[in-house]
Amino acid sequence: MSEQKKEYTEAELAEMSRDEKVRLGLALDDVELVEYRDNWPVKGTRAERRAERAVAAWFALAGLSALAFIAVFVFWPWHYQAPSDPKAHFIYSLYNPLIGFFLGLSILAVGIGVVLYQKKFIPHEVAVQQRHDGHGSDEVDRQTTAALLADAGNRSGIARRSMIKRTAGFGLGAFGVGAGVFALGGIVRNPWATDGPDSLKHTQWMSENGEKTFLRRDTGNPSDVSLLRPEDIDPGGFETVYPFRESMRHNEEELAESMRRSDAPVMLIRLRPGSAPIKRKGQEDFNYGDYYAYSKICTHVGCPTSLFEQQTGRLLCPCHQSQFDVVHTYAKPVFGPATRALPQLPITVDENGYFVAKHDFIEPVGPAFWEREA
Ligand code: FES
């Protein structure tokens, strides 16, 4: 049975040694220590040093992996390289696997180092505690708990294990810096700094020199350019299309990139005759007859809205089931977590009968980002 809890003044607590606080904390919690032994009663044995080196090695590995992660994250060539240059493409394709590998290895090594330290150096204890109603923490609880933790740390010998302290500092420090780089690295570049096709304001559909931007279908081979005309799509049908400009025709890299960029895919939909969706203010002439073009990138978190349900006239996003109504509205979300209509691409047909984009989207495609005006 626990001893009657008495009130302790701050002066009394200050006078107590850590051992006394440990014993008091145990008594107050009705804890009986059946076993509480040091892992290394004889100090400085070879086995103890071996255990110390093992823990230090994991922390060192965590630090080195974190540094490698930072180096790859910052310096590795991550810009897309077309398969036409196999070496550059191979190096580019290693970017994601490498940052994942080194970050994962760093987390794993920190975890193993901490668990190993706990197993090898924190005293083993077997304790029995009576259940009783909990009560809020007061000063006695706080000080006795702190004494218990400090006692465990002291018995683990951390004070004299300088190798572990140094490697843990290096491993955890580098890991912390890596986590910071990971969190902040993506927002270093100011998306408003440039106004070209690489800025968040624009997409691959932007023609910088007024060159015509055609709508092309995906034939599976970026070099095989297949342009679209109105008669290519049946009423109620649709096609996923990508931007194409004549200046790209002999540049394999540009052709491939124009189909790989996440802001490029567009759904070209031909509504059934007689459909009269509500048009968005300022976008009344964005369609060409029954043909409407919407970004394929979901405005929730950016999955492709790749399913078109003819019966209901809804585009469905398979990721979280957002639905966008293209028959009655301008692709407004009518179900699911998306809150913004799919951006509409203004289209028309040129003098040769091919679909072309009149200009870029007038709002950012994909998930919302900060300071978005639309
Ligand atoms: S990404 Fe489309 S619903 Fe979530």
Domain-by-domain residue ranges, the chain? 10-185, 213-357
Q: What are 216-241's pLDDT values in tens digits?
A: 999 888 889 999 999 999 999 999 99
> Ligand 1, residues 262, 298, 299: which to mutate, most atoms within 8 A of Cβ?
298
d(CA 44, CA 162): 13
With a 6 Å cutoff on the Cβ, whether 304 touches ligand 1 is no
Q: What is the pLDDT of residue 309?
A: 86
d(CA 362, CA 374): 9
Nearest CA owner, ligand 1 atom 4: 320
Please give the distance, rounded to the nearest whole angstrom, from the Cα atom of residue 37 to the centre of ligand 1: 55
With a 6 Å cutoff on the Cβ, whether 319 touches ligand 1 is yes
Residue 25: band (very low, low, confident or very high) from pLDDT cuts 50, 70, 90: confident
Averaged pLDDT of the chain: 87
Nearest CA owner, ligand 1 atom 3: 320
The answer, yes or no, to whether residue 374 has pLDDT greater than 50, is: no
Q: What are 10-19's pLDDT values in tens digits?
A: 888 888 888 7
Please give the distance, rounded to the nearest whole angstrom, from the Cα atom of residue 21 to the centre of ligand 1: 55
With a 6 Å cutoff on the Cβ, whether 338 touches ligand 1 is yes
CA distances from 13 to 19, 25, 291 (A): 12, 12, 80
The CATH code of the domain at 213-357 is: 2.102.10.10
> Ligand 1, residues 314, 317, 342: which to mutate, most atoms within 8 A of Cβ?
317
d(CA 347, CA 25): 75
pTM over 0.85: no
With a 6 Å cutoff on the Cβ, whether 37 touches ligand 1 is no
First and final CA of the chain: distance in angstroms? 68
- Asked which of 55-59, 139-143, 368-372 is least confident by mean pLDDT, the reply is 368-372
Residue 54: band (very low, low, confident or very high) from pLDDT cuts 50, 70, 90: very high
- Supply the Cα-derived Rg of the chain in whole angstroms: 32
Q: What are 150-208's pLDDT values in tens digits?
A: 887 887 777 778 888 899 999 999 989 988 888 888 777 776 677 766 677 788 899 88
Residue 134: band (very low, low, confident or very high) from pLDDT cuts 50, 70, 90: low
Q: Dihedral, CA atoms, 173, 178, 179, 180, nearest 10 degrees? A: 90
User: For 290, what's the count of Cα atoms within 13 Å in the CB-facing half-sphere?
Assistant: 17
CB 206 within 8 A of CB 358: no
Please give the distance, rounded to the nearest whole angstrom, from the Cα atom of residue 314 to the centre of ligand 1: 14
Residue 1: band (very low, low, confident or very high) from pLDDT cuts 50, 70, 90: very low
Single-letter amino acid, residue 214: F
